[in-house]
Amino acid sequence: MAEWDHSSDEKFYDYYANESQSDKTLARFRSAQKAILNLCDEIAKPQDNLAVADIGCGPGTQALIWAKRGHTVHGLDVNQPLVTLAKDRARNAGMEIDFRVGSATDLPWEDGSMDVCIALELIEHIEDWQKCLDEFTRILRPDGILCLSTTNKICPVQDEFKLPLFSWYPDVLKRYYIKLAINSKPDLVNYAHYPAVNWFSFFSLRAALQKRGFKSFDRFDLMGLNDAGKIKEIISFSVRNVPFLRVLAHIFTQGTFLLAYRN
C-alpha cells in the first residue's frame, strides 16, 4: 500500500483555505451540482437524500453545498490540515458531514453505497488514476452518477503549472518539470505535495469509463440538459453533432469536465 504524505505546505493550505470560499469557486461547485441534479432528472433518478462522496474534498466547501440541501455527504482528502478545516467549517455551520483523511485509490466506504461520486481536479494528481476510477465505480450504486473534472491535454491553457502551454509539452519535458517542482521548485505548482502527473482529454476518459459500464457526457452534451437559452442550444447542438466541431470546442476549453452514470 502506498505511503501518503498527509501534511500540507503552509502556502498551499492558505491558498485553498481562502480560494475555497471565493465567488468563483462557489459558482463552479454550484454549477457542478446543478449538472448532476439535471442528469438525475434525465435518467429518472430520485433526488431525495442522496448519498454523496466528495473525493478530494479539501476544506469542504462542496460538501457543505450538498449537505445544506439535505443530502448525506462524505468527504475525503489526503491533506490532514484541510480536512480539519473542513470539519471545523461543517461544525460551525451545524452540519454533520463524514470527513476523512485518506487516498482516492483506497476509499473507506462499502461497495454500492453512494448515489453520487464527485472528484474535481483530483485524478491528474494521482499516478494510479485507473485505480481511482475503479474505486469510484466500486462505491457507486448501479444507477450512480460520477462527476469528474481534470486536466485537458488538448487545450494549451492550464492552471496546474506556472508555465505557458504546459499541457502541450512532450511527456519527457513534463516529467522533468514535475521532478523539478517536487524537489526544488514547489512554486511551479503552488506548493502542492502532489502536483499534476496525468493529462487527459474527454475522449480518453470516456473510453476508460465505458470499459467500466458508464455512459459519459461532456460539457457540451450537458448544455442540452440545462436551461441554456436558444443561442447556447444551437451551439451545443452543432458541437454535439459535428465531430470536428466537438474536438475544436475541447481545444478551446480549459480543463475537462465529465458526467457519467452506470447504465
What is the pLDDT at residue 228? 57
- What is the mean pLDDT of the segment spanning 257-261? 97
- Domain membership of residue 46 (yes or no) is yes
Query: Does the pLDDT value for residue 1 go beyond 60?
Result: no
C-alpha closest to that of 240 among 209, 262, 219? 219
What is the pLDDT at residue 225? 62
Query: Does the pLDDT value for residue 2 go beyond 80?
Result: no
Rounded to whole angstroms, the Cα distance separating 76 from 98 reads 8
- Domain membership of residue 255 (yes or no) is yes
Convert the pLDDT of each residue in 91-140 to its tens digit: 999 999 999 999 999 999 999 999 999 999 999 999 999 999 999 999 99
Q: How many residues does the chain have?
A: 263
More confident residue, 1 or 120: 120
Rounded to whole angstroms, the Cα distance separating 49 from 15 reads 32
CA Rg value for the chain? 18
Tell if the pTM clears 0.85, that is, is over it. Answer: yes
- Domain membership of residue 2 (yes or no) is no
| Cβ partners under 8 Å of residue 219, min gap 6 | 253, 257
Convert the pLDDT of each residue in 184-200 to its tens digit: 999 999 999 999 999 99
- Domain membership of residue 4 (yes or no) is no
- Grid look-up 505535495 returns 193
Question: What CATH number has the domain bearing residue 162?
Answer: 3.40.50.150
What is the pLDDT at residue 227? 55
Convert the pLDDT of each residue in 12-54 to its tens digit: 999 999 999 999 999 999 999 999 999 999 999 999 999 999 9
- Domain membership of residue 226 (yes or no) is yes
Query: Does the pLDDT value for residue 177 go beyond 80?
Result: yes
- Domain membership of residue 1 (yes or no) is no
C-alpha closest to that of 114 among 170, 74, 57? 74
What value does the mean pLDDT of the chain take?
A: 93
- Domain membership of residue 5 (yes or no) is no
Please answer whether residues 99 and 63 qualify as being in contact, where contact means their C-beta atoms are separated by less than 8 angstroms: yes
Q: 224: pLDDT confidence band, cut at 50, 70 and 90?
A: low
| Cβ partners under 8 Å of residue 19, min gap 6 | 25
Query: Does the pLDDT value for residue 220 go beyond 90?
Result: no
Rounded to whole angstroms, the Cα distance separating 137 from 262 reads 8
Q: Domain containing 258: what range?
A: 10-262
Rounded to whole angstroms, the Cα distance separating 252 from 193 reads 29
Q: 57: pLDDT confidence band, cut at 50, 70 and 90?
A: very high
Q: How many domains does the chain have?
A: 1
Long-range CB contact pairs, 11-17, < 8 A, 24+: 11/190, 11/191, 12/79, 12/190, 12/191, 12/192, 12/193, 13/79, 13/81, 13/82, 13/85, 15/190, 15/191, 16/58, 16/59, 16/82, 17/59, 17/82, 17/85
- Domain membership of residue 3 (yes or no) is no
